[in-house]
Structure 1
Amino acid sequence: MAEVEIVALLVSPVHAFEGRPADGPRPDPAGAGVESVTVRAGLGLVGDRFFNRPAHRTAAVTVFAAESLDGLGRPDPLLARRNIVLRGFPVDDLAARRGQAGAVFSLDSGDGPVRFQAHRPAHPCAWMDAVLAPGAFKALRGHGGVRCTPLDDGVLRLGAAKLEVG
């Protein structure tokens, strides 16, 4: 078990990165960064654009390590557009690798554990250079987080949490 901190939670009903990075992102709707999220097993985060989308069932929730941003001047972690941003655990190690399944892990921020099945890595895109920092796209390769399926209903909140693998 690892003591972690949930430093950011993102629930966004729209995709902010459309078009060309040179044109800049469209504004986020109010409330994209939230204090708590409601997780639904097999569906994702209530209110998020990937909630209950069949094409995103194994990628409904993205989990990201805040440490991945440290070399970029520590920009606002919400700009990475990952749903759950943690500090204190190597999140990318949870992802599925060739011939191996991703890890099952749980997060508990005080309302009981919520389990997730990790799947593929969440690769960065060219937008990262435009919204985080020049060079972020390259710097985040292999450190873009992991796409997951929630296995339990529950609630996650900003602040101290416990992460358990297995």
Structure 2
Amino acid sequence: MPFPFFGDDKSTIAQLLNTLPQTGRLEWIGLRPARREAMLSVEEATVETDRHLAGDHARPKAGGKRQITLIQQEHLAAVSGFLGLSEPVAPGRLRRNLAVSGLNLLALKNKRIAIGPEVVLEISGECHPCSRMEEELGPGGYNAMRGHGGLTARIIAGGLIRVGDEVRVTTAE
């Protein structure tokens, strides 16, 4: 089947929004051991169904839309550029749980993604920056993060995730 190009009589916005054939990669996993403490970078973590990452201090309610947070790996360089830094910002400084490369996360809003063989997340919304970015990144940190703050997700199916795991769009309900 040929790819539906915009303007083609057979293409619709819905078709275009559902054209996500690529896969991504889990680049980083971070846990917050306690409120306002530095993030711990780990190679693997247990994702608890409808709860959170084991070992993370956050205790979101069951059914909540912000059980885990993700940031686009490619946005780390953009944030650094806005701040005039020569190296990409380390993902732990941005206080998100997962950094993913290779997929436009914003295009996945309201969709489900699978990480590795077990974990399924439902992307629930944008994760806007907070004033804490000024403390962490210095003056302008909040504005550097605007539009690059990542996404929140609900944990549909838990399991073990590892840095390097494939991240893919799933149609599983």
Q: TM-score range by the shorter chain?
A: 0.7 to 0.9
Which structure has more relative contact order (CA 8 Å, sep 6+)? It is: 1
**Pairing 1:75–2:89 present:** yes
**Pairing 1:36–2:44 present:** yes
Q: What is the Cα deviation at residue 43 of structure 1?
A: 0.9
Is the contact made by 1:8 and 1:84 (CA closer than 8 Å) also made in structure 2? yes
Counterpart-to-counterpart distance in 2, 1:58 and 1:38: 18
- Aligned pair partner of 2:146 in 141, 146, 166: 141
Aligned to 1:163: 168
| SS state at 1:33 partner | strand
Q: Deviations over 1:85-141 (max 9, x none)?
A: 11111112223xxxxxx1122112xxx131111112100112223323543321322
**Pairing 1:103–2:111 present:** yes
Q: TM-score, normalised by structure 1?
A: 0.76
| SS state at 2:41 partner | coil
Percent of counterpart pairs with the same letter?
24
Q: What is the Cα deviation at residue 84 of structure 1?
A: 0.6
Q: Deviations over 1:122-165 (max 9, x none)?
A: 00112223323543321322221111111112111112423224
In the TM superposition, structure 1's runs of 4+ consecutive aligned residues that sit over 4 Å from their partners are: none
- Aligned pair partner of 2:119 in 103, 114, 121: 114
Aligned to 2:157: 152
Q: What is the Cα deviation at residue 5 of structure 1?
A: 2.5
Aligned to 1:9: 29
Structure 2 spans left out of the alignment, 5+ residues:
1-20, 81-86
Counterpart AA for 2:111? A
Q: What is the Cα deviation at residue 74 of structure 1?
A: 0.5
Counterpart AA for 1:84? L
Counterpart-to-counterpart distance in 1, 2:166 and 2:141: 27
Counterpart-to-counterpart distance in 1, 2:32 and 2:163: 16
Tell me how large the CA RMSD over aligned residues is: 2.1
Pick closer, same or farther for the CA change 1:70–1:136 going to 2, 3 Å.
same
Counterpart-to-counterpart distance in 2, 1:81 and 1:56: 22
| SS state at 1:159 partner | coil
Structure 1 spans left out of the alignment, 5+ residues:
17-26, 96-101
| Equivalent residue pairs, number | 144
Q: What is the Cα deviation at residue 42 of structure 1?
A: 0.5
| SS state at 1:58 partner | coil
Q: How does 1:53-72 map to 2 (within 5 A)?
A: 53-54=60-61, 57-71=64-78, 72=80
Question: Between Structure 1 and Structure 2, whose CA radius of gyration is higher?
Answer: 2
Counterpart-to-counterpart distance in 1, 2:46 and 2:119: 10
